[in-house]
Amino acid sequence: MTVWTPYTARAKDWFETLRDDICAEFEAIEREAGSDAAFEYASWTREEEGLAEPGGGTRGAMKGKVFEKVGVNVSTVHGNFAPGFAATINGASEENPGFTATGISLVAHMANPHVPAVHMNTRFLTTSKAWFGGGADLNPPIPYDEDTEQFHAAFRAACAGHNPTYYDRFKKWADDYFYIPHRKVHRGVGGIFYDHMECADEAAWERNFAFTQDVGRAFLDVFPKIVRRRMDSLFTEQDKLQQLEWRGRYAEFNLVYDRGTLFGLRTGGNIDAILMSLPPEAVWS
């Protein structure tokens, strides 16, 4: 069986580099808007009985003129899944509940309702198996076809460089996943979502890691362009109300259906980092 520890370290290094690049770009946008807002970072440690070094992460958060609330988190943890939860995770079981996980997670809620909110995450996990997962989806309170098409085009190109079937498969997966059944609506205009991209050997790991890196690069390229296009748009009180009502739907999805939220809570993650996806303000009509 492949020993995955060095690969976890490589993935962690990449996720931290991507975080630094994204945070620098978001801070540059704030400067363009005349704001001196900057990310503040807080480290946390995961506790689990019997583990001398259970890992942890760093939570980066910024509240600015353009980014009303944005969080960019990187965590790297290992341990054992709780009884009853292990069987729900790929490659884990009650008899073999051990895991390692490293990943980056980002959610941005924007001040201007014409600027879409966004979510992005990529991760590498090991149990008795090893795999990558992740994706990104655009969440505009006021959708624009131009923004939607540009966002999808970026991820279509990232997918095309690796497998001609990826985009259609992962777009459908996102459409199916980011859906609020009790509202019968999607939470946004989609993107891509993939999971359990398994690494049977070193060659497969390299292929899947390269794809995951390209997903991160596609996000870093496309989302700032959309922000800069919309961030100076004039908006009305009705536009703001529409944004706040949409945020309520977003919160419902993340608290009721999102697997990442559940994973973080069930593995002893940092509560502030897990719930950074929630909007700073929302309404329910």
pLDDT in the model for residue 265: 80
Q: Of 112, 143, 139, nearest to 236 (Cα)? A: 112
Torsion of CA 265, 268, 272, 277, to 10 degrees: -30
Do 197 and 179 touch, CB atoms closer than 8 A?
no
* Residue 182 annotated among the catalytic residues of the structure: no
Q: Which residue has the higher pLDDT, 239 or 6?
A: 239
79: left (phi over 0), alpha (psi -120 to 50) or beta: left
Note the pLDDT tens digit of each residue in 250-272: 999 999 998 888 877 877 778 88
pLDDT in the model for residue 278: 93
Note the pLDDT tens digit of each residue in 237-246: 999 999 999 9
Burial of 234 (0-12, 13-18, 19+ CB in 10 A): exposed
Write down all domains in the chain, each with its CATH number in brackets: 5-277 (3.40.1500.10)
Note the pLDDT tens digit of each residue in 125-139: 998 899 999 999 999
Q: Which residue of the set 109, 114, 119, 186 is catalytic? A: 119
